[in-house]
Amino acid sequence: MSRKKMILDLDTGIDDALALAYAIGHDDIDLIGIIATYGNALTNVTAKNSLDLLDLLGAHDVPVFIGESHSSTTTDFTVMPISQAIHGQNGIGDVEVAASTRSVDSQNGIDFLIEAAHQYKDELIYLPTGPLTNLAKALEKDPSIAKLIGQTTLMGGALTVPGNVTPFTEANIHQDPEAADYVFKNQENLTMVGLDVTLRTLLTKKHTQEWRDLGTTAGQNYADIMDYYIDAYYNLDIDKKGAALHDPLAVAVAVDPSYVTTLDLNMQVTYDQESGDYGRTIGDKAKLLEPTISKAAVLVDQDRFVSDFQQMMLKVLA
């Protein structure tokens, strides 16, 4: 398989940090840039986290761009308390990673995405693991990218299971349902990797102990970060068996779709605040008879993925 160009759009919290490491280590991925967005932390914090982690992993040539700092319907953003409880005050489990000496790129993240879509076309994978505000803005600015981007694989949504913010809504979609709806209705070749599959992929402290045993700074830092996440899952009663590999599963599916079973479905996102039907990812009734432009992952080969993920992390952290 030829190497695919990939842009990660990260609100760099803990599982985003795992997705970043997985993408760096994957032989079939050429990571050409990261767009920082809001969500698990403020945009300036997520940008710093991405720079620090890139340098920790030796990926000093991957640029970081600044994306949107709040949703399409607001003028500012405040991190949800539950996000801070799960990801820590600094987004990466309150672990202090050595500060990068690099700065964010001067080009805006929206413009970088549009430029990359025109340059790489079918070879480009765009992978957002936070809110979809950046992609919605890019689509509004240049609608042609809907057909240009080879593949968009997002982590977000919940089709067959309850949400993790409300009974309907998953956290990334909840940050900007209006933008998410615009993306689902316009962006072609889109795959939703949601809670339906990510909640089945669990990592434990047995895995992170193997990272520690590598004896590297990266192994130690990443084990500390992930153990914070595992403890948060346990203490908040999210899952006492381990912590979910939300974002790295999306990266894996982008280059190896065989990890999941998908349902072809034109989708929409609800945003009726009055009724409370806000942020639900569901089939678009108006497009049931039209050709599908999106699909949703509904089943996952969790044993194979978790094993492959662990082997990748051991390679990257060594």
The set of catalytic residues is 11, 246
Q: Which helix H or strand E contains 271, and what residues bound it?
A: strand 267-272
Please state, in angstroms and rounded to a whole number, the distance separating the CA atoms of residues 224 and 209: 10
Is-contact 214 173, C-beta < 8 A? no
Nearest to 187 by CA among 246, 130, 128, 129: 128
Nearest to 149 by CA among 182, 106, 117: 117
Which residues are within 8 A (CB) of 48 and not within 5 positions of it... i.e. 6 or more apart? 99, 100
Residue with tokens 């991405």: 50
Is-contact 297 261, C-beta < 8 A? yes
Sign of dihedral through CA atoms 76, 81, 83, 84?
A: positive
Please state, in angstroms and rounded to a whole number, the distance separating the CA atoms of residues 145 and 209: 43
